[in-house]
Structure 1
C-alpha cells in the first residue's frame, strides 16, 4: 500500500499541474454576474448622481450667454500691394484662428471691452465670464460673455467684438503709424525750410499717402460681422444635467461595482475553487438545517430522505468513482480554516458510505478541537490517543453502527433480502473519538503509534475517513498526509478567500498523498446554485433505509 500511495501521487500531481494550467476566460456572462452581484452599488450611483446633478442645477443662479462674431482676414492686402510675400499664407488656418482666439484673451482687450460697454468691473471677472472660440471650418471668431442679465450679456459681447477689432487694428497698423509719424515730422521740417516745391518733399508726401492707404487696409483684418442680438440661458439646466448625471452615474456605478469586485477576495463559484486548487469538484453540499445544527444532528442519520441527504449520496458516488483506479482506503479530510463544515461533511460521508454497504471507520484526529463526539455518543469509550499509547486496545472501540441496505419491500423481499432472494450487503460504521488531548498534538500525530493504528484500521475496513485540523492553521494534516492513501479538501464559500486558496494549493502540493478532489460546503451561497430532488427521494431512502444497532 505505501508503494501504491507513492505511485498514485505522481499521477495525481501531474493531474494537478495540468489543471493549474487552465485559466477561465472572462466572458460576457461573467460580467453580467458581477453586475448582478453589485446591482445595489450600480443602482445607488444611477439614482444618486442624477439627483445630485439636478439638485445642484436648481440651486444655481440664472446665467445668460450672448455671442458676437468677428471675421478674420487670412491675407495681408498691404503686403500684396507692396509686392511683399505674405508669411501668413503658409500658416495653418487652424493655428492662425487659435492664435487670434488667444489674442482676444489678453487683459488689454478685456479692459477696452469694459470701457466700450460702460461697465465698472474687474478685468479678471470679465475674463472669467467670457470666452473666445475659433469656429471650425470658418474664418470666424466667436466671442461670448455670460452674465446674470440678458441686456448686459449682449452689450458686453458686442463691446468685446469691437474691442478685439480695435486691438487687432492697433497691432497691425503700429509700424505704419510710426512711419507716418516720422514722415509728418520730416514734412514739417521741410516746410519750415521753405522746401515744399522740392522733389524730395513731393516724394515724401507720396510715401505718407501710401502709408495712409496701408493703415486703412490693415484695420480690416478683424471686422465685427455679427453683434450680440440675443442671450441664451445657460444655467440652471436641470434636464441636461440630469441626463448627464444619469450617464455619469452609470459609468461611476459600473466602475465602482468592478472595483469592489476586484478588491473582494471572496470566492464566488466552484469553478474558481477548482481553478485555484487544481482539484476536481466532488460535490456541492448545502449547510445543514438550523434544527439539526442546534442539536448537532446529521442529515444522513436524522433526515436521510431529505434533499440535503441526496448531496452526500452524490458525494459518495463521486468519491467511489475517483477511488476506482487505485482504491485508496485511508482518506484524510481537511480544510483551509475552521468553521468550513469539515467535520460535518466527514461524518455525513461516513454514514453515506456505510449505508451503501461499506465497512467504514471514522477517526477523529483533530487533537486540537475534536468535534465528532458531538455527532455520536462516544461516552465511556476509549479514544485514539489511549489506543496509540496502548492504554486501550483497538478491539475495545470496534462496536459499529450496523446499516442494512435492501432493495425495498415492494416485491415481497424482507429487509435482509433483495428481490432475488440474496441477502443484501450490510454496512457498518465505527467511530473512534480523539480521546484525551495530548500536550503536543503536532508531534503526536506524526508518531509511529498513530501510523500503527492507521495501518491496522486499513486492514480491517473498506474505507477509513480521518477528520483532521485545518491545513493552514496547524501542520497536523500535512504531517498525517504522509501516512494516508489520499486526501479530500472541504471548502466553504463564505469562509474561504482567494489568497487562502492559493496558499492551500501550495501546502497541498507538498503533500505526498493522492488528492481526490474538494467538496464545496455551504454551496447555497454560490452564484446560481440550487438543489432539490422533486422525485425519487423516498425511493432512495427505501433502498438505503438502515436498521441502526
Structure 2
C-alpha cells in the first residue's frame, strides 16, 4: 500500500475512527471522575550531633550524623514510629497500611529527612506528616548512643512543619482524558489500516493494476438505489443512462485492444459465480450491435446457463443440440434484437467439458466467426471449472469480469494465472457493479426524462421486444402474406399513437436497407384474425394521427418489400 491508500482507508473509516475516539475519551473521563482526590503534605526534620567542641570534633560529628541519617529515614515507616501516630490521631488503620502512604527521603549530602504523606484529606495528610516527624525524633533520640551525662549523641528537630495542601496531586484527570481520546483514535486508525491490509476485496482499478499487467478495460457502475431505471438489460431498457455509457466504453476498449488484428470473438468469464459475466456478455453484445455489426452471443455455460433466462427466449434447443448433431446451426440461432442473434445453451449435458473441447465445437466457432462480425461466448467461471480455458484458445481472447467489493485479489490472481498457465490470451479485466459516482451536470437528467418525453409514461418493453419466439424470426417475407415483423411494427405504432401521440411527433427516418443474411431462414407468416381486428386498429390509428400513422405504415411496407425472399 502507498500513502494514498492509507489516506483513502482513513477517509473511508473516519466515522469509525471518530466513534472510537469519542468512546475512548468518554471511558477515560468516567474513569478519571471515579478516582478519589489525593493530597500530599511534607515535613522536614534536621538531624545534628550534640557532641564536639573543637572543629575536628564537629567534623567528626557531622560525618557521623550523615552516616546515620539514611537509617533514620528508614526508621520513619517502622511500627515503632507509626504506632504512637495512630494512637495520637485515632486512625483506623494498621502500621503496615499507614506505612504505604508515607515516604521518607534524604536529599544527597544533607542531614535533612523529608517525610511525605499522601492522603485523601488535606488536613489529615499534614497532621500525619507532623506527627510522624515528632514520633521519629523521639524514637531516634531514644535509640542513639548517650554520653556520660546521659545526653543523646544526636538531636532531631522539625524545621519545616507540614501544611495542608490546597490542590490535589492526583489524579491528573486532563491527562487521563487526553490519553483515552488518543488511545481511541489510535485504535480507530489501526482498525482502518488493518481492514485495508487484510480485506483483499477489489474496490478500484488500482487494486487490479497492482496485481497484474492485464489492462483494466472498463468499470461498470451499479444502479443507484432510487434510480428510475427498471430492472433488466441496461442497454435495452436504458440505452441513454450512465451505466449504458460504461458498457459502450468497454466496447470501445475492445475495439482498440488490438489495432493490427481486430478482435472479432471473445470469451467472457469470471473467477467465481455471481460476478455478472452473463449480464456483461449481453450488454456488450447490444453495445457492439450499435455499430451496425452483426453480433452472435453464445451461451457456453453448460453448467448453469442463464442467457435464455435474461433474454426471455426459449432455451431448450441450442448449443448442445448442434454439437450432438440433433439440429443444424441455422435452426437454433434465434434473433433477439437488431443485429443481435443468440445461440442458447440447450439441454445441460452430463459432460460439458468434453463437448466444449470437442472438434465439433471448434468447427462451430470457426463457422460463426466467419458469418458474424463479432462473437461473444459466455462461459463458466474459471476457478470452479476449466471450460473457459479451452474456449479461450478458440477465440481471440478472454475478458474477465470481477465484482466490486466481492472478488478478492487472490481469486482474481488465481483466475488470471489459470489463463496464463495454458498460454491463453487475456484481453482485459472489467470491474463490475462499482460504486456510483457523483452525476455530471451533462448527465443530470434521469433515465425516464432521457428515454421518454415530458408527460409521457416511462418507456416499457413490449412482448415483441422482451419475449422472443422459440425459433429465430424470419428476415424475409413470403408471397403468402406480409412479413410478421412488419405486422408487429404496425400494431405497435398504432398502439403508441393512440396512447402517447407526442412520442411519434418527430419524423420517422426511412429504414435502412438490411444486409442480406448469410443463412436466411423463414417462419410462418403472420396471420390476421378473420374479423379484421388488426386492420380496424390500423384504420383507427390512421384517422387519429393521419400524418404519423401514414409515415409509419409507408416505412413498414417499404421495409417489408426490401426483405429478400430466399
User: Structure 1 residues 290, 447: closer, same or farther in 2, change over 3 A?
Assistant: farther
User: Structure 1 residues 380, 284: closer, same or farther in 2, change over 3 A?
Assistant: closer
Q: Does 1:503 align with 2:417?
A: no
Report the CA distance between 1:110 and its aligned residue. Answer: 6.9
Aligned match of 1:40 in 7, 12, 15? 15
Q: Is the 8 A contact 1:114 1:159 kept in 2?
A: no
Q: Secondary structure at the match of 1:458?
A: helix
Q: Does 1:318 align with 2:253?
A: yes
Cα distance in 1 for partners of 2:364, 2:252 equals 27
User: Structure 1 residues 399, 505: closer, same or farther in 2, change over 3 A?
Assistant: closer
Q: Which residue pairs with 2:126 in the alignment?
A: 154
Cα distance in 2 for partners of 1:453, 1:106 equals 105
Q: Is the 8 A contact 2:397 2:424 kept in 1?
A: yes
Aligned match of 1:245 in 169, 175, 180? 180
Report the CA distance between 1:531 and its aligned residue. Answer: 5.4
Cα distance in 2 for partners of 1:142, 1:30 equals 58
Q: Does 1:480 align with 2:391?
A: yes
Name the stretch that deviates more: 529-538 or 509-518: 529-538
Q: Which residue pairs with 1:379 in the alignment?
A: 314
Q: Does 1:66 align with 2:41?
A: yes
Q: Which residue pairs with 1:200 in the alignment?
A: none
Q: Which residue pairs with 1:49 in the alignment?
A: 24
Q: Does 1:391 align with 2:326?
A: yes
Cα distance in 1 for partners of 2:273, 2:82 equals 78
User: Structure 1 residues 531, 449: closer, same or farther in 2, change over 3 A?
Assistant: farther
Q: Which residue pairs with 1:344 in the alignment?
A: 279
User: Structure 1 residues 58, 359: closer, same or farther in 2, change over 3 A?
Assistant: same
User: Structure 1 residues 391, 45: closer, same or farther in 2, change over 3 A?
Assistant: same
- Number of residue pairs aligned between Structure 1 and Structure 2: 442
Aligned match of 1:449 in 343, 355, 360? 360
Q: Which residue pairs with 2:164 in the alignment?
A: 230
Report the CA distance between 1:359 and its aligned residue. Answer: 2.6
Q: Which residue pairs with 1:202 in the alignment?
A: none
User: Structure 1 residues 480, 293: closer, same or farther in 2, change over 3 A?
Assistant: farther
Q: Is the 8 A contact 1:442 1:476 kept in 2?
A: yes
Aligned match of 2:236 in 301, 306, 321? 301
Q: Does 1:112 align with 2:81?
A: yes
Report the CA distance between 1:267 and its aligned residue. Answer: 2.7
Greater RCO (CA < 8 Å, at least 6 residues apart): 1
Q: Is the 8 A contact 1:113 1:156 kept in 2?
A: no
User: Structure 1 residues 59, 380: closer, same or farther in 2, change over 3 A?
Assistant: closer
Cα distance in 2 for partners of 1:149, 1:545 equals 101
5 Å-filtered alignment, 1:120-519, equals 121-130=93-102, 144-159=116-131, 216=154, 226-231=160-165, 232-234=167-169, 239=174, 241-288=176-223, 297-379=232-314, 382-401=317-336, 403=338, 428-519=339-430
Cα distance in 2 for partners of 1:446, 1:37 equals 46
Q: Is the 8 A contact 2:77 2:99 kept in 1?
A: no
Structure 2 residues without counterparts, runs of 5 or longer: 49-54, 452-505, 515-558, 560-566
Cα distance in 2 for partners of 1:65, 1:300 equals 80
Q: Secondary structure at the match of 1:233?
A: coil
Cα distance in 2 for partners of 1:42, 1:372 equals 45
Q: Secondary structure at the match of 1:356?
A: coil
Q: Does 1:534 align with 2:442?
A: yes
Cα distance in 1 for partners of 2:438, 2:226 equals 20
Q: Is the 8 A contact 2:203 2:434 kept in 1?
A: no
Q: Secondary structure at the match of 2:8?
A: helix
Structure 1 residues without counterparts, runs of 5 or longer: 1-23, 90-98, 185-207, 404-427
Cα distance in 2 for partners of 1:294, 1:131 equals 79
Cα distance in 2 for partners of 1:276, 1:488 equals 16
User: Structure 1 residues 524, 143: closer, same or farther in 2, change over 3 A?
Assistant: farther
Cα distance in 1 for partners of 2:228, 2:422 equals 32
Q: Is the 8 A contact 2:75 2:136 kept in 1?
A: no
Report the TM-score when normalising by structure 2: 0.65
